Amino acid sequence: MRQLDSEHVVGLQIKTVSVDAVNPNRPVDIYISSFRPAPTTYFVVVAWVPDDRRFHEECLVIPSEELLQLARTAGSHYQFEFQPGSTRQPRLDKYRRALNGLCAEIQALL
């Protein structure tokens, strides 16, 4: 994304996981070979709830430079689990955002 007036740029990589009552905690995968952390690049993780045909109201916004603090190596991927709405993943708490505020969150990064 680019802010036209200031010409500031923010790179976003959107990751989607599918969650339901049976699988509320889903892995987020990032290819190691294409991972390039940068101060202006962020991962946004959204959770699709197929039974409700909607996205969960909580998402993650993670600076790419902090991703390796959360992820582990799993074959050719970095991986971490995301359970939206959970209180059992405190290491993700500082990255949790309300989905309905995502636009404002991204604009604030510009």
Cβ atoms of 70 and 107 closer than 8 Å: no
Cβ atoms of 55 and 49 closer than 8 Å: yes
23-34 per-position pLDDT tens digit: 888 999 999 999
26-73 per-position pLDDT tens digit: 999 999 999 999 999 999 999 999 999 999 999 999 999 999 999 999
